[in-house]
Amino acid sequence: MPLLRCRTGLGARLLLADGLGVEGCGFGAPATRVGEVVFTTAMTGYPESLTDPSYRGQILVETHPMVGNYGVPSRARRVYGIPLDYESDRIQVEGFVVAELPEPSHYASAMSLHEWLRGEGVPGIYRVDTRMLVERIREHGVIMGVLSVYPLDEEPPSWDELARVLSSSKSYDERLFALETSPREPITHSPPGRPRARVSMLDCGVKYGILRQLLHRGVEVTRYPCTAGADELLDGYDAVVLSNGPGNPALLRAQARVAAEVATSGKPVLAVCLGMQLLSLGLGARAYKLPYGHRGVNKPVVELGTGRCMVTTHNHGYAIDWDSLEGTGLEPWFRQPDDGTLEGVRSRDGLVLATQFHPEAGPGPWDSSWVFDLFVKMVAGRR
């Protein structure tokens, strides 16, 4: 009985909507959670991925075979008053799937992945064939799933019971997550010293990495709830940032209208991931769902015109249709060479900059952090 060797004392069952059932060891919290099952090819950076608000509503599978080796850093490690190694204040994923879960060894590790997920009520499964799961998702596309972790001295939940939980849950595409990851009240983050610029942010679930990049360049950022109007975002600010965030962009109609309004206001705008989708939708473009998304920290992106190639961080399940840009005032900026996805757009006058990838990385390489330099230089130069 291999399950008896689970050192956590927990078992786990993962059931996909196509009927595939996977059994393994459990870690984290004994709990049952439903989510869209997606994979990331990132080889490192699991504390950042797990806390990325754009993963809300998803069960994340890591393709890297060993996860947890360097443990979990303490939230007390901070820079500019925000965590250094986290992308938000909590674990955002519904569940976590890894092949092997080694004991951690790292000077900055404050706890193990098992302890962290347990403390936050999130279930995890390990000692499963993640290669098979990833192939399945690649062939079938992303798929809803239910993950259940239980103490090994108790009866596991039956597959029928799990199938019932799954069939009574709403699908990922229909659920509105962005309001859950958005702040309730405006929050201002100030850089040390006199700010070079003041920007507002339509915050539908910003990754702290974006704040760190802006603060690092001397920019003061005021984050507004995802329900804010264009006036609030424009009055008294030098520029507007449209954040990343979870879920289906087509559900955020009001936010798309606000994004279009700020993008045509004459002030500079920087939009990242969901922000780019909202901006494009608001200006009349179309979004579509990718079969299995782009999630990883090793995705090439080519800048149109210069041919410059960068390795970038991605986490998106939707994309903007190239053919729908006509009449929006936006032009293509970046392209993903593997599948041709549109990875960035900008306005002809260069005031509006938008990337589908994550120039802040977190986790990932900083090849594209110059996008922040470009934005901040433009904003500070207009003051």
Ligand X SMILES: NC(=O)CC[C@H](N)C(=O)O
Active site residues: 273, 358, 360
For helices 253-263 and 274-282, angle between their N-to-C axes, nearest 10 degrees: 80
Phi, psi of 318 (to 5 degrees): -120, 165
Burial 234-273 (b: 16+ CB within 10 A, else e): beebbbbbbbbbbbbbeebeebbebbbbbbbbebbbbbbb
Does residue number 96 form part of the binding site for ligand X (CB under 6 A)?
no
Residue placing its CB nearer to ligand X in the complex, 8 or 355:
355
Buried b (16+ CB within 10 A) or exposed e, 134-156: bebbeeeebbbbbbbbbebeeeb
Binder of ligand X out of 97, 226, 260, 274 (CB under 6 A):
274
Given candidates 51, 54, 200, 368, which one binds ligand X under the rule CB under 6 A? 54
- Ranges of beta strands (E only) in 64-218 are 72-73, 78-79, 82-83, 95-97, 109-111, 123-126, 143-151, 187-189, 197-203
Q: How many CA atoms lie within 13 A of 136 on its CB side?
A: 19
Residue (247 or 359) nearer to ligand X, CB: 247
* 318 versus 375: smaller Cβ distance to ligand X: 318
19 CB-contact burial (10 Å; exposed 0-12 / middle 13-18 / buried 19+): exposed
- Looking up tokens 């149109």 gives 304
Please list, in sequence order, all residues whose beta carbon lies within 8 angstroms of the beta carbon of residue 89, skipping any fewer than 6 positions away: 51, 75, 83
Interface mask toward ligand X for 10-49; x: CB under 6 A: ----------------------------------------
- Measured CA distances, 175 to 111, 303, 316, 382 (Å): 32, 33, 16, 40
Residue 109 among known ligand-binding residues: no
Please pick, from the candidates 8, 181, 244, 355, the single residue that binds ligand X as defined by CB under 6 A: 244
Confirm or reject binding of residue 246 to ligand X (CB under 6 A).
Answer: yes
Q: Which member of 68, 95, 123, 247 binds ligand X (CB under 6 A)?
A: 247
Is 56 a binding residue for ligand X by CB under 6 A? The answer is no
**Quick check: 241 binds ligand X (CB under 6 A)?**
no
Round to whole Å and give the CA distance between 334 and 134.
Answer: 27
Q: According to the annotation, is 255 in a ligand binding site?
A: no
Kindly state the smallest distance separating residue 55's Cβ from ligand X, in Å. 8
Query: DSSP secondary-structure letter at 171?
Result: P
63 near ligand X, rule: CB under 6 A: no
- Residue with smaller CB distance to ligand X, 162 or 233: 233
Q: Residue 193, annotated ligand binder?
A: no
By CB under 6 A, residue 206 contacts ligand X: no
Work out how close the CB of 141 gets to ligand X at its nearest, in angstroms, rounded to a whole number.
Answer: 14
- Number of residues binding to ligand X, judged by CB under 6 A: 12
**Contacting ligand X within 303-322 (CB under 6 A):** 315-318
Query: Would you say 296 is a known binding-site residue?
Result: no
* Piece of the chain touching ligand X by CB under 6 A; list 92-100, 219-227, 239-247, 334-342: 239-247
Question: Per rule CB under 6 A, is residue 364 in the interface with ligand X?
Answer: no
Q: Is 273 near ligand X (CB under 6 A)?
A: yes
Q: Where are the beta strands (DSSP E) in 226-275?
A: 239-242, 269-272
Kindly state whether residue 237 participates in binding ligand X, applying the rule CB under 6 A: no
**Is 230 in contact with 279 (CB distance < 8 Å)?**
no
Task: Decide whether 64 or 289 has the Cβ nearer to ligand X.
Answer: 289
Residues that bind ligand X (CB under 6 A): 54, 244-247, 249, 273-274, 315-318
